[in-house]
Amino acid sequence: MSLAPEIAAPEIVTLENLRRVTRERALGYGITLIAIGLLEVLWFGAANSALQTTIELGYNSSSAMPPITSAVRVIPLLIGLLLLAPVVSKRARAFVPARIKFTKGVRNFLVIVGGYLIAWPVVLWLGVNSDGALRTMTIPDSATGYVVGIITTVAGGILAWRRLDRSASPLLYTGLMLFMLGFLIWVARGSNVSGLHLQLTGILAASVAAATFLIFGSLSGTLCERSGVVNIAIEGQFMTGAMSSVMVASAMNGTGISLFLGVLVAGVLGALLGWVLAVMSLRYQANQIIVGIVIVAFCTAVTQFITSQVLDVHQNLNGAFPLPVWAIPFFSHIPIVGPILFDQNILVYVAILGVIIVNIALFRTRWGLRVRSVGEKPLAAETVGVSVTRMRYGAVILGGFVAGLGGAAFTIGAGTNFTFGMTNGYGYIALAIMIFGRWRPYGALMASLLFGFTIALSANLNIYLSQLVIPQQFISMLPYIITIAAVAGLVGRIRPPAADGVPFSRE
């Protein structure tokens, strides 16, 4: 059997072209970082050299820290070195069992865990005394400003000079994080005297808590848009979830089971609204954006009606019941990371687990492959027997459920009662976060944390108002400014699912 030779036909997207674009972008990022670094030197470094900042690294965990002796602290250091060895040296990699494939994921895992374990003794010393008491650190302001600024400038210089295409992002993020740290230290300058300590761990923990509903919202958006339906009704699902969860919990006097029931009801109502969106946009092929906005308008009206007619009259139906905080044993005692990630209420864990589960479901399972195919090219999916309508129904209803849970995070997740309008447009911001996260669950998580950080920041910087040259209102604008930047495409080349928002009919 003979066959014609392979033909070298044109490559429409050449790697060379793409690489060049990335390089050009790296140059831009590098120059930006250099500018930020110089700004840091001039701005933060110019602080009165006598001033010092006290940073609270420790955090009042909800359970006490068991005493750890200095000798024990050496153990994580050794384990960390052991884990990092195969990453750093090829010779050490020979000892890794052949069964474990040395993929990028494995490498990243080793770098993060190993690196953290090596830093552990330092962090432990910085964070908590051996008796578990709160630990603080005092550093000079001006010198910190110089150090941070010089590191940022150098990082920018490397980016701009080498035009790195792949390792650009770690450098960029390091630079931006250092800028944020420098900014915070500068804001809290002189706190060793004033006593207004910089509560670093506290702000970060608050960021995670504030990010919860954004994680749910952007995850919902990701699910729906991956299947090709734009869920602009997230805001409405937020409102409904926020109100219904409080009402259910209050009606049952805030007992443990009622709180979980409240969360569940929030999810179910969200799913119901998702079903409405699905019926209107899939069965009747109405414009998805308009249906979504109508749903939000409907929810606004209903929540307003119930607030004024029911909740204001029977105020016992609108109580403030916080979900219980679950400190995960051992993990919650890890310095800094523990209180941020492992000492939160159950909804926070559900959100983070949800991200992991949705990511696996989208990219590893049969269901996920089909959902993504339907969002990219529905006709192609239909021709191999995948029902476009059924996949979209599933994704939109599931997305509605997730957004409903996000609604519960506003009220019983944060331990407050329901007030009309409390969702404050965050449902729309969730969609911007979804874009920022490039339609990926982990991207949504990271972007949500960033937005959560800005929210926590605007809430926590009030005490430094006199120090802050910028009016506090500007800090409050941060989440929205980042939204505009995200949507305007600051994040570089992003590609939505090809059939996003496009109705499907077979003929």
Partner 1 sequence: MKLELRAVTKHFGSLAANENVDLIVEPGQIHGLLGENGAGKTTLMNVLYGMITPDSGQLLINDEVVDIRDPKDAVTHKIGMVHQHFMLIPVFTVADNIILGSEPVKPWPFIDHRSATERIIALAKEYNFHIDPSATIENLPIGQQQRVEILKALSHDAEILILDEPTAVLTPQEADALMVIMRTLKSQGKSIIFITHKLKEVLEIADVITVMRLGQVVGTTTPAETNEAALATMMVGRDVNLVVEKPPANPGEVVLDVTNLFVQDDRGLTAVKGVSFEVRAGEILAFAGVQGNGQTELVEALTGLRRATAGSVLLNGTELVGRSVRDVLNAGVGHVPEDRQRHGLVLTLSIADNLVLDQLDSPQYKSWSGRKLKAIQENGKKRIAEYDIRAQGEDEPLSALSGGNQQKVVMARELSRELKVLICAQPTRGLDVGSIEFMHRQIVAIRDEGVAVVIVSSELDEVIALGDRVAVLYDGMIQDVVAPTTSREDFGLLMAGSRPAVTGATL
Residue 18 or 485: which CB sits closer to partner 1?
18
Nearest to 121 by CA among 66, 78, 178, 67: 78
Residue (90 or 506) nearer to partner 1, CB? 506
In this complex, which beta carbon is closest to partner 1, that of residue 376 or of residue 420? 376
| Residue number, 197 or 370, with CB nearest to partner 1 | 370
Smallest distance from partner 1 to CB 24, Å: 9
Q: Give the angle 285-290-292 at the CA atoms, nearest 5°.
A: 95
What gap in Å lies between CA 25 and CA 490, rounded to an integer?
11
CB of 165 to partner 1, least distance (A): 15
- β-pair partners for 436: none
For β-strands 136-140 and 52-56, DSSP reports them as antiparallel
CA-to-CA distance for 212 and 191, rounded, in angstroms?
Answer: 30
- The whole-angstrom separation of Cα 225 and Cα 188 is 42
CB of 92 to partner 1, least distance (A): 28
Concatenated DSSP letters of 465-492: TTT-SS-HHHHHHHHHHHHHHHHTTTT-
Q: Residue 327 has which token pair?
A: 């400190």
Nearer to partner 1, 178 or 388 (CB): 388
Mode of pairing for the β-strands spanning 325-327 and 136-140? unpaired
Q: Is 251 left (phi over 0), alpha (psi -120 to 50) or beta?
A: alpha
The angle, 0 to 180 degrees and rounded to 10, between the axes of the packed helices 234-251 and 426-436 is 120
Give me the DSSP letters along 9-75: PPPSS-HHHHHHHHHHHHHHHHHHHHHHHHHHHHHTTTS-TT-EEEEE-----SSPPPP--HHHHHH
Cβ neighbours around 154 below 10 Å, total:
15
Output the smallest distance, CB 369 to partner 1, in A. 6
Beta strand 325-327 pairing with 52-56: unpaired
CB of 364 to partner 1, least distance (A): 5
CB of 72 to partner 1, least distance (A): 40
Q: Which two tokens stand for residue 292?
A: 């979504």
**Whose Cβ is closer to partner 1: residue 3's or residue 257's?**
3
Comparison of 97 and 385: residue with beta carbon closer to partner 1:
385
Nearest residue (CB) to partner 1, 314 versus 364: 364
Q: How far is CA 62 from CA 65, 128, 133, in A?
A: 9, 14, 13
Q: Which candidate, 199, 204, 216, places its Cα nearest to that of 413?
A: 216
Nearest distance from C-beta of residue 8 to partner 1, angstroms: 6
Of the pair 98, 384, the CB lying nearest partner 1 is at: 384
Residues forming the site for partner 1 (CB under 8 A): 1-4, 6-14, 17-18, 21, 361, 364-367, 369-370, 372-373, 376-377, 379-386, 493, 495, 498, 506-507
* Shortest Å, Cβ 222 to partner 1: 15
For residues 444 and 437, the answer to whether their CB atoms sit within 8 Å is yes
Taking the complex as a whole, how short is the minimal distance between the CB of residue 491 and partner 1, in angstroms?
Answer: 15
Nearer to partner 1, 207 or 373 (CB): 373
